[in-house]
Chain A
């Protein structure tokens, strides 16, 4: 039951995060501050 309740918001959050990931990489020269986490190979 709890798992079902969590599924919908998690799916939404996950889709949002998945959509944002390529944008961060390809649509900007870098992040807003002077640090950047390691980019995973699947995104390169």
Chain B
């Protein structure tokens, strides 16, 4: 449905501006990205509003978005699977923060360890994306590490439930990153084995 709406919008633009094939594809892709992410955020925020936790989820999103963009990881192919996974991720962070009473020093130490893991394995760029240069990878890695340092520092300076979300975001993103890394390594191994047996 989102794709159809994006195509419809591009056609409206096309009628007035007469775009070439490449421009057409670029505009459609950007519109699709904006429409899919905004619609998912609105759905999640609507559900959280009913539950009375919309402010908390907005803060989790604020911490999560910049880190996710830089660390990468796996993603779902379908709209609804992505919506469900993203909702589970966001609500899990909310419940971990509100129901688990972890002491501040422990959270800081775990946050630092996760930051180190992010520095060593991030970013994980999905296969469907363009070939990423080592320069870009370095940039993403540095950005992700700086963000982790900011979240941990923010939590140590202003220790409240809202800054605590930053640490939980680092922890969960690291766990997901480790899973993605494991899957990627395994896939590489399988491909290597397959090529050696065919040779």
Q: Tell me the bound Cα distance from A41 to B23 in angstroms.
A: 12
Given A14-B27, A31-B75, A40-B26, A7-B129 contact (CB < 8 Å)? no
Q: Determine if A17 and B40 form an interchain contact, defined as CB atoms under 8 angstroms apart.
A: no
Number of A residues, CB within 8 Å of B: 33
Q: Determine if A42 and B16 form an interchain contact, defined as CB atoms under 8 angstroms apart.
A: no
A-B contact count (CB 8 A): 124
Q: Determine if A10 and B17 form an interchain contact, defined as CB atoms under 8 angstroms apart.
A: yes
Closest to A25 in B: B130
Q: Determine if B26 and A35 form an interchain contact, defined as CB atoms under 8 angstroms apart.
A: no
Q: Determine if B25 and A40 form an interchain contact, defined as CB atoms under 8 angstroms apart.
A: yes
Closest to A44 in B: B130
Residues of A within 8 A of B126 (CB): 30, 36
B75 to chain A, nearest CB (A): 5
Q: C-beta contact mask, B122-139 vs A, less than 8 Å → 1, else 0?
A: 111110111010001000
Given A17-B27, A21-B26, A35-B78, A7-B68 contact (CB < 8 Å)? no
Q: Is the interface of B mostly helix, strand, loop or mixed?
A: helix
Q: Determine if A34 and B75 form an interchain contact, defined as CB atoms under 8 angstroms apart.
A: yes
Q: Determine if B17 and A7 form an interchain contact, defined as CB atoms under 8 angstroms apart.
A: yes
Q: Tell me the bound Cα distance from A29 to B31 in angstroms.
A: 19
Listed by A's residue number, 14 A-B pairs whose Cβ atoms lie within 8 Å are A10-B17, A17-B31, A21-B27, A27-B136, A28-B70, A28-B140, A29-B72, A30-B72, A31-B75, A35-B40, A35-B76, A35-B79, A35-B86, A42-B26
The chain B residues found within 8 Å of chain A, CB to CB, are: 2-3, 13, 16-17, 19, 21-23, 25-33, 36-37, 40-41, 61, 64-65, 68-79, 81-83, 85-86, 89, 122-126, 128-130, 132, 136, 140
